[in-house]
Amino acid sequence: MAECIRTQEVPEVLFWVGCAGSFDDRAKKVTKAFAKLLIDAKVSFAVLGQEESCSGDPAKRSGNEFLFQMQALSNIEVLNGYEVKNIVTTCPHCFNTLKNEYPSLGGNYKVLHHTEFLKQLIEEGRLTLNGGIFKGKRITYHDPCYLGRANEIYEAPRALIKKLDAELVEMRRCKKDALCCGAGGAQMFKEAEKGNKEINIERSEEVIETQTQLVAAACPFCNTMLSDGMTQKGSSVSVKDIAQLIAEAKDL
């Protein structure tokens, strides 16, 4: 973003990469895939780079409202400083926080999840997609809690899977009834409480039930949880973000 200011260019959108997207190996691949798609669609975008900091979601869900607001207010200062208007992010947690919880703290932006943005690009004809390697393949989709129930975005990711000419196979529990992957509410960063099963295993079993070989994710945490679940179940089902699927279909 600082670069843009120097060149006096106003990018169309700010790509909020998020901590997982910056540091987590699996999520970094999603970040790259999405960036490639943006470039392919000739979207001028910027990132905050080192000026980006955690959105505060895991702090807030842990109950640390203080730390959350510290993060939020300093991020808002940076974003407002660059007069950012449009934000797109590959993380539903960042998406939810920026979209819903920043406004009351003075951060008002049009925030889109990458699945919504990609769908928009395709509709506008800026991103083209013709089947490709997923044509006719059976793919299931896992709704992230913070995209689905929390923000009622169920259709955009599904529309993208259909654009791959793939057959979308729904899990037993989907959309409003979808089962959590187990990572939300800061569970990602702690051991689960005592129980008789891990939540990600329960969800992975539902994926396996669909007898598909591929589950599309739309959240870096779900991605990790399901990938781990598949490994533990010894399953060959692969877990990929929708952005990765589209990038692969386009051979980017």
- Residues in touch with other proteins (CB under 8 A): 17, 19, 21-24, 28, 31-32, 35, 47, 49-50, 52-54, 56, 58-67, 69-71, 73-74, 77, 96, 99-101, 104-105, 145-146, 149-152, 176-177, 179-180, 182-199, 202
Cβ nearer to other proteins, comparing 49 with 136: 49
Q: Which is nearer to other proteins, 65 or 123 (CB)?
A: 65
Nearer to other proteins, 96 or 140 (CB): 96
Residue placing its CB nearer to other proteins in the complex, 147 or 164: 147
Least distance in angstroms from the C-beta of 242 to other proteins: 18
Distance between CA atoms of residues 238 and 226, nearest Å: 9
Q: How far is the CB of 235 from other proteins (least distance, A)?
A: 18
Smallest distance, Å, CB 78 to other proteins?
A: 11
The separation between the first and the last C-alpha atoms of the chain, rounded to the nearest angstrom, is: 25
What pairing do the DSSP bridges indicate for beta strands 13-16 and 138-141? unpaired
Q: Which is nearer to other proteins, 118 or 199 (CB)?
A: 199
Q: To the nearest whole angstrom, how small is the minimum distance from the Cβ of residue 142 to other proteins? A: 12
- C-alpha–C-alpha distance, residues 57 and 157, integer Å: 22
Shortest separation between residue 222's beta carbon and other proteins, angstroms: 11
In whole angstroms, the minimum distance from the beta carbon of 121 to other proteins comes to 21
Query: Between residues 60 and 163, which has the closer beta carbon with respect to other proteins?
Result: 60
Tell me whether residue 163 or residue 228 sits nearer to other proteins (CB atom).
228
Tell the smallest beta-carbon distance from residue 146 to other proteins (Å): 6
Residue 225 host element (H or E): helix 220-233
Pair 164, 135: CB distance under 8 Å: yes
Quick one: DSSP state of residue 12?
S
Q: Which residues pair with 240 in a beta bridge?
A: 216
Contact between residue 247 and residue 240 where contact means Cβ atoms under 8 Å apart: no
| Tokens representing residue 122 in the block | 């395709």
DSSP E strand boundaries for 66-224: 86-89, 110-113, 138-141, 167-169, 214-217
- Provide the b/e sequence for 103-117 (b: ≥16 CB within 10 Å): eeeebebebbbbbbb
Angle between helices 242-249 and 25-40 in degrees, nearest 10: 50
